Amino acid sequence: LTFLYFSKVANLFLQFAKDNNYDFYPLFIYSIVRVINSNYLYRMDFNEAGELGYYESSVPFYSIFDSRTELFSNIDTPDAYTFAEFDRDYLSDVKKYRGTGKLFPKQPVPKNVVNISMIPWVNYTGFNLNINNNDNYLLPIVTAGRFERAGDEIKLPVTFQIHHAVCDGYHTSQFFIKLQDILNNVDEL
C-alpha cells in the first residue's frame, strides 16, 4: 500500500528538522519505529521452531548510501528513548559503517527489525520491495521516496508492506494514521 503525505504537516516535519539541525532520514526512521512499536501486530514473526509470536520491540534496520561507490549498506541502530539520543547513535553508526563495501557491515543483524529505506532520487505512486522472497516473512518494510513540492504543499510517498497473515487493511490504515499523528506532533519527539 502506498500513501502520500500532503501539505503543511510535511512542511512542519521538514521545518522541525531544519530548525533543529537534524537530517530528515533519521527523524523519519525514528518516527517509523515509534509507529511499529505501538502495535504488536507489526512485530509478529516466527521463531526458529516455527511458532508464531511477536517481539517486545523492533529495531530499525535501514539502508545507508555511499555516494562515492554508489553502494548501499544495511545497518541497525538500537531504538533510544528520545530522538536526540537516537540521532546521536545514528550519526555514529553511519560514520562507522558507511563506505565499508559490505551489504551488512554491522553484525549480528537483529531478528526483530523493521526494514526501512529511502529512495530520494525518485517520486513514485507504487513501490514493492521483496525481502527474503518467502511466504513466511512477516516483518514490515517501509520505503519513502523523493519529496515533491506542489505550490505550498509537499508530498512524500511512503510505502508500508506487511504480510496479510498478520495485518489487514484496517491495521495498515492504522499505521498511516499513527504516522500522520507523529508528523502532526513532531515537536514532541
Q: What is the mean pLDDT of residues 17-37?
A: 94
Segment 80-134, tens digit of pLDDT: 789 999 999 999 999 999 999 999 999 999 999 999 999 989 887 777 777 766 7
Q: What is the mean pLDDT of residues 33-51?
A: 95
What is the C-alpha to C-alpha distance for residues 83 and 74, in angstroms, rounded to an integer? Answer: 20
Question: What does the block give as the cell for 19?
Answer: 530548525
Among residues 120, 164, 165, 168, the one annotated as catalytic is: 164
* CB neighbour list of residue 68: distance below 8 Å, 6 or more residues apart: 99
Does 164 participate in catalysis according to the annotation?
Answer: yes
How many domains, the chain? Answer: 1
CATH number of the structural domain spanning residue 163: 3.30.559.10
Pick the more confident residue, 66 or 123. Answer: 66
**pLDDT for 141 beyond 80:** yes
| C-alpha 74, offset from chain centre | 12
Specify the residue for cell string 484496517: 170
Question: What does the block give as the cell for 36?
Answer: 511499529
**pLDDT for 46 beyond 90:** yes
**pLDDT for 12 beyond 80:** no
pLDDT at res. 44: 97
Q: 161: domain range?
A: 2-188
Question: What does the block give as the cell for 23?
Answer: 537530517
